[in-house]
């Protein structure tokens, strides 16, 4: 197990390095630079700014300096926010995105699992059709649509919760609800599909024939196997939700990481884009690894590394 | 297993309960607030609160309220002696030398504001090592361009030498002398811009790169101080008791939200969480009906820039044809729908002309509101434009520009019979291609740097930085040169009007529309001053009932 984990961590490190390198090359291949604006910024000023950030050095030298800094934990200064470090921007934005993401996961997953199981058990009946339809809607409706709708309903129409902003527990509710609905829909679909498969297996039939109570059959035997597809999807879904979703954060005016992913690219803020790419790659690798370990824990047939 | 189901169910209920409980109940007890709070939306996190390097509109809005320069532009765009930190000033008859006498004023930490703070600040902006984007605003000062052009890696002695030759000098603690290279008629209005604000040397040296990154890493000399700054989330300003005119400030607190999404901001306004909000086009009618709308003129202009170096637009008749085929009224009313006005000339009406009247009154209507397809086709035929030639329109990829580009494409197809390919690219790519001249037509917007027609007209001088269409007319250059040095106001405006007429004749660009911003304010809010140019938000005189 330990050897497997170490091997996986080495692979993740290589993946993160690859992401960093590709991002670096792509950024420098795009026309434009971080400092040009529509205004008449004279060449002189552009040159002074480039010198300040080391952009006038040859490309390989910039790359080595950047990698060296990254290994030391220094991701550089943001070019758009000249007084803030990239690490600082990430450290400030991540807790907000993570709080909302974790809250969304904590009720989205269980809700989705319960609904998926219920739906599978009533397969073919009206209630199943309704649940499947609801899950489909939940997955298809874009995040900002759900978010705007909830914002209007709870914030403006009924005035129960703050429309936008950040700071109190009440600001957490609507964004995590918007995200959680999507998580629940995804989970419900995966669990239902898994359960439908498993419930048709021989050993389930055997357990029922033996006279085991329905609930024991479903939850001790069937569910554990049905939840495997969800467990392997858990990693990427969790990473996606926790790292910050742009649309929901934009609608609710949350100071999370989501908008930085988009804005940094639009501003061609080299250091911030690189920092965010590396951060997300590391987060995703860790989440996928956790998902794989969870799968192995659930299903003894899966031998890690075997 | 029963217990697993139970656990899951309990977990689900618990999480929902916590969410709901945290959600209900608090609405009844509203948080305690001091009297006279104004809640506004900044829109996003201010990237740079260092007045010497700041160049984005968000940061400038904050800076104008927590700092002050020699001059503070009042409501109605008046520049008066004593409005800012300069109690009095005198200018030499040739307009090359100004002497400012500072009033008695203190920074928020009790240290007096001195002329040396201005000298240090201005030289710091011009220092090539600072990398200030707006250093060029100071190029009218003697020795300024020379200092800013030095290689930042040059030896310190060379930079210091050039710095000593710059025409800014603190004669004593209260007197600042400024010497210009050439007369700048709008120099006084420039001084209200944050780039010209004073900066304390000891504070900058103490904090280095972290200067102005947190509220306690800067000092304030304006009507407010920054009390709290939650990055990306919220900023709170409080009245500055050390401000020289603290008695004239009617607000105790300003709370800035940082919500970028315009719809969310409008929702917040409707829900009572904001006292004023910028209104996107779709909502203008709604707030106009409620009587809450305040339109604010913007000193900006949108136009089509032609590339005179490409075969398509070498002929002035071709340029005329494309301009005549555009229905500007339809563009403003049906496509933009945000209160913008069809442009009759390049310089917008928000910019003052002779006698303080809008400059457009002196210029007259140079471009028609409606399209003239017959005249357009005639002009196109005269120019020898080959049938079937394709032309590229470069635009940025904002929703607005995409709509406009599509509308223009349709107008040219219908009125001229010419196929135009629209290339909507990301902003940074657009800047790059625009500067390199990689376009036949380019959709451009320009905002005034200072409140004078010259900021729009000197764009077309031979070799000017954004004259990438390659317009070059020695007669035009001469007019601009003469106007720059002219001290007689009437004569100068006359020359500037001639410049507009030349643009309408030679068509390096075809003006399209003049943007307008709309704001909704809750009843009881008054005194928020929004300038059409420069640092546009001024809360010194704002009141809340």
Whether residue B536 is contained in a domain is answered as no
Whether residue B363 is contained in a domain is answered as yes
Give the chain B residue whose CA is nearest to the CA of A112: B12
Query: For B31-42, what is the mean pLDDT?
Result: 80
- Yes or no: say if B306 and B320 are a contact pair by the CB < 8 Å rule: no
Whether residue B140 is contained in a domain is answered as yes
Question: Does the pLDDT value for residue A6 go beyond 60?
Answer: yes
pLDDT score of A71: 85
Structural domain boundaries, residue A154: 97-268
Query: For A251-264, what is the mean pLDDT?
Result: 87
Check whether residue B321 and residue B193 sit in a common domain. no
pLDDT score of B28: 43
pLDDT score of B7: 62
Whether residue B213 is contained in a domain is answered as no
Strands B300-306 and B509-514: antiparallel
Whether residue B425 is contained in a domain is answered as yes
Check whether residue B307 and residue B188 sit in a common domain. no
- Yes or no: say if B272 and A172 are a contact pair by the CB < 8 Å rule: no
Query: For A76-95, what is the mean pLDDT?
Result: 85
pLDDT score of B1: 44
How much is the ipTM here? 0.74
Confidence of residue B25 (pLDDT cuts 50, 70, 90): very low
- Yes or no: say if A115 and A135 are a contact pair by the CB < 8 Å rule: yes
pLDDT score of B374: 94
**Which residue of A83, A86, A147 is the best one to mutate when testing the B interface, meaning the one whose CB has the most B CBs within 10 A?**
A83
- pLDDT tens digits, B332-352: 998 888 788 999 999 999 998
Contact B465 A93 (CB under 8 A): no
Question: In Å, how far is A12's CA from the nearest CA of chain B?
Answer: 31
- Yes or no: say if A264 and A273 are a contact pair by the CB < 8 Å rule: yes
pLDDT score of B24: 44
Question: Does the pLDDT value for residue B17 go beyond 80?
Answer: no
Contacts A160 to B, Cβ<8 Å: 23-24, 27
Full-model pTM = 0.80
Question: Does the pLDDT value for residue B18 go beyond 70?
Answer: no
Whether residue A145 is contained in a domain is answered as yes
How many angstroms separate the CA atoms of B74 and B84, rounded?
A: 10
Whether residue B533 is contained in a domain is answered as no
Whether residue A177 is contained in a domain is answered as yes
Check whether residue B186 and residue B310 sit in a common domain. no
Check whether residue B371 and residue B491 sit in a common domain. yes
Higher pLDDT, A244 or B321: B321
CATH of residue A221's domain is 1.10.3720.10
Query: For B176-193, what is the mean pLDDT?
Result: 90
pLDDT score of B314: 92
- pLDDT tens digits, B190-215: 899 999 999 999 999 999 988 998 99
Domain count, chain B: 2
Whether residue B217 is contained in a domain is answered as no
CATH of residue B418's domain is 3.10.105.10
Instruction: Of B15-19, B382-386, B494-498, give the lowest mean pLDDT range.
Output: B15-19
Question: Does the pLDDT value for residue B27 go beyond 60?
Answer: no
Question: Does the pLDDT value for residue B16 go beyond 70?
Answer: no
Check whether residue B336 and residue B481 sit in a common domain. yes
pLDDT score of B450: 83
Residue spans of beta strands (DSSP E) within B441-515: 441-447, 509-514
pLDDT score of A77: 83
pLDDT score of A40: 56
Question: Does the pLDDT value for residue A12 go beyond 60?
Answer: yes
How many angstroms separate the CA atoms of B500 and B497, rounded?
A: 5
Q: Is B57 at the interface with chain A, CB within 8 A?
A: no
CATH of residue B95's domain is 3.90.76.10
Higher pLDDT, B300 or A302: B300
Q: Cβ atoms within 10 A of the Cβ of A3, count?
A: 9
- Above pLDDT 70, what percent of chain A? 96
Domain count, chain A: 1
- Yes or no: say if B394 and B363 are a contact pair by the CB < 8 Å rule: no
Q: Whole-angstrom distance between the N-terminal and C-terminal Cα of chain A? A: 10
Whether residue A104 is contained in a domain is answered as yes
Whether residue A286 is contained in a domain is answered as no
HSE on the CB side for B428, CA within 13 Å? Answer: 18
Average pLDDT, chain A: 86
Confidence of residue A234 (pLDDT cuts 50, 70, 90): confident
Query: For B235-246, what is the mean pLDDT?
Result: 95
For residue B290, count CB atoms less than 10 angstroms from its CB and return exposed for 0-12, middle for 13-18, buried for 19 or more.
exposed
pLDDT score of A218: 81
Contacts B130 to A, Cβ<8 Å: 48
Q: Within its chain, how far is the Cα of B155 from the centroid?
A: 35
Whether residue A152 is contained in a domain is answered as yes
Query: For B354-383, what is the mean pLDDT?
Result: 92
- pLDDT tens digits, A151-196: 999 988 898 898 888 888 899 999 999 999 999 999 999 999 998 8
Structural domain boundaries, residue B319: 300-514
Last residue of a domain, one of B200, B227, B258: B200
Q: Which value, to the nearest 10 degrees, does the dihedral of the CA atoms of residues A144, A150, A156, A161 take?
A: -120
Whether residue B162 is contained in a domain is answered as yes
Whether residue A1 is contained in a domain is answered as no
Q: Cβ atoms within 10 A of the Cβ of B517, count?
A: 18
**Which residue of A28, A35, A37, A41 is the best one to mutate when testing the B interface, meaning the one whose CB has the most B CBs within 10 A?**
A41
- pLDDT tens digits, B500-542: 999 999 999 999 999 988 899 999 899 999 988 876 799 999 9
């Amino acid at each position: 197990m330990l050897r497997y984990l170490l091997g996986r961590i080495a692979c993740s490190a290589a993946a993160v390095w690859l992401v960093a390198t590709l991002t670096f090359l792509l950024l420098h291949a795009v026309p434009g630079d971080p400092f040009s604006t529509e205004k008449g910024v004279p060449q002189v000023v552009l040159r002074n700014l480039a010198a300040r950030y080391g952009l006038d050095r040859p490309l390989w030298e910039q790359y080595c300096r950047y990698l060296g800094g990254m290994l030391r934990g220094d991701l550089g200064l943001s070019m758009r926010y000249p007084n803030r470090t990239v690490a600082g921007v990430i450290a400030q934005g991540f807790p907000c995105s993570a709080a909302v993401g974790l809250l969304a996961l904590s009720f989205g997953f269980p809700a989705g699992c319960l609904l998926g199981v219920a739906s599978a058990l009533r397969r073919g009946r009206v209630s199943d059709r309704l649940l499947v339809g609801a899950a489909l809607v939940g997955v298809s409706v874009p995040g900002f649509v759900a978010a705007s709708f909830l914002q209007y309903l709870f914030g403006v129409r009924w005035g129960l919760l703050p429309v936008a902003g950040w700071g109190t527990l009440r600001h957490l509710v609507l964004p995590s609800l918007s995200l959680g609905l999507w998580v629940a829909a995804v989970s419900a679909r995966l669990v239902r599909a898994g359960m439908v498969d498993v419930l048709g297996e021989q050993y389930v039939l055997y357990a029922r024939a033996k006279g085991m109570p329905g609930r024991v059959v479903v939850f001790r035997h069937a569910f554990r196997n049905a939840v495997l597809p969800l467990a392997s999807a858990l990693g990427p879904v969790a990473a996606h939700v926790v790292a910050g979703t742009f649309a929901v954060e934009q609608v609710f005016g949350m100071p999370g990481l989501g908008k930085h992913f988009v804005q940094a690219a639009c501003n061609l803020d080299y250091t911030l884009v690189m920092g965010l790419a590396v951060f997300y790659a590391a987060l995703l690798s860790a989440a996928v690894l956790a998902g794989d370990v969870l799968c192995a824990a659930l299903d003894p047939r899966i031998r890690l590394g075997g | 297993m029963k217990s697993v189901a139970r656990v899951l169910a309990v977990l689900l209920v618990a999480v929902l309960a916590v969410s709901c409980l945290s959600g209900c109940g608090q609405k009844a007890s509203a948080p305690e607030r001091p009297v006279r709070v104004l809640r506004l939306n900044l829109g996003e996190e201010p990237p740079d609160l260092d007045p010497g390097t700041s160049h984005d509109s968000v940061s400038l809005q904050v800076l104008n309220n927590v700092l002050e320069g020699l001059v503070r532009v009042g409501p109605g765009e008046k520049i008066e002696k004593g409005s800012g930190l300069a109690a009095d000033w005198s200018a030499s008859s040739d307009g090359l030398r100004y002497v400012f006498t500072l009033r008695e004023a203190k920074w928020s930490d009790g240290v007096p504001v001195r002329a040396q703070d201005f000298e240090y600040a201005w030289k710091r902006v011009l220092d090539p090592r600072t990398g200030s984007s707006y250093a060029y605003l100071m190029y009218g000062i003697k020795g300024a361009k020379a200092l800013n052009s030095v290689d930042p890696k040059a030896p310190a002695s060379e930079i210091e030498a050039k710095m000593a030759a710059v025409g800014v000098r603190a004669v004593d603690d209260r007197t600042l002398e400024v010497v210009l290279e050439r007369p700048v008629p709008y120099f006084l209005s420039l001084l209200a811009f944050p780039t010209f604000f004073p900066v304390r040397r000891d504070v900058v040296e103490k904090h280095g790169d972290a200067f102005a990154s947190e509220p306690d890493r800067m000092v304030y000399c304006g009507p407010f101080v920054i009390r709290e700054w939650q990055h990306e989330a919220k900023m709170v300003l409080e009245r500055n008791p050390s401000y020289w005119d603290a008695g004239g400030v009617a607000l105790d607190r300003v709370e800035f939200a940082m919500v970028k999404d315009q719809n969310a901001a409008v929702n917040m306004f409707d829900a009572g969480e904001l006292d004023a909000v910028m209104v996107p086009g779709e909502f203008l009618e709604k707030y106009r009906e409620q009587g809450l709308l305040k339109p604010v003129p913007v000193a900006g202009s949108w136009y089509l820039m032609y590339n005179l170096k490409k075969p398509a637009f070498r002929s002035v008749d071709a340029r005329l044809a494309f301009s005549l085929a555009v229905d500007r009224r339809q563009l403003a009313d049906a496509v933009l729908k945000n209160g913008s006005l069809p442009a009759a000339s390049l310089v917008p009406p928000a910019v003052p002309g002779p006698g303080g009247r809008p400059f457009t009154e002196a210029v007259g209507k140079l471009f028609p509101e409606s399209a003239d397809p017959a005249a357009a086709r005639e002009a196109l035929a005269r120019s020898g434009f080959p049938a079937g030639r394709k032309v590229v329109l470069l635009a940025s990829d904002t929703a607005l520009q995409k709509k406009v580009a599509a509308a223009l494409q349709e107008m040219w197809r219908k009125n001229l019979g010419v196929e135009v390919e629209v290339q909507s690219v990301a902003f940074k790519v657009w800047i790059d291609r625009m500067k390199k001249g990689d376009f036949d037509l380019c959709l451009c917007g320009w905002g005034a740097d200072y409140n004078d027609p010259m900021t729009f007209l000197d764009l077309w001088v031979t070799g000017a930085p954004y004259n990438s269409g390659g317009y070059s007319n020695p007669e035009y250059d001469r007019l601009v040169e003469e106007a720059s040095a002219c001290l007689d106001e009437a004569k100068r405006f006359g020359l500037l009007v001639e410049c507009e007429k030349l643009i309408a004749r030679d068509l390096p660009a075809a003006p399209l529309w003049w943007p307008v911003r709309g704001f909704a304010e809750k009843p009881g809010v008054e005194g928020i001053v929004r300038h059409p140019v420069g640092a546009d938000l001024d809360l010194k005189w704002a009141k809340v009932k």
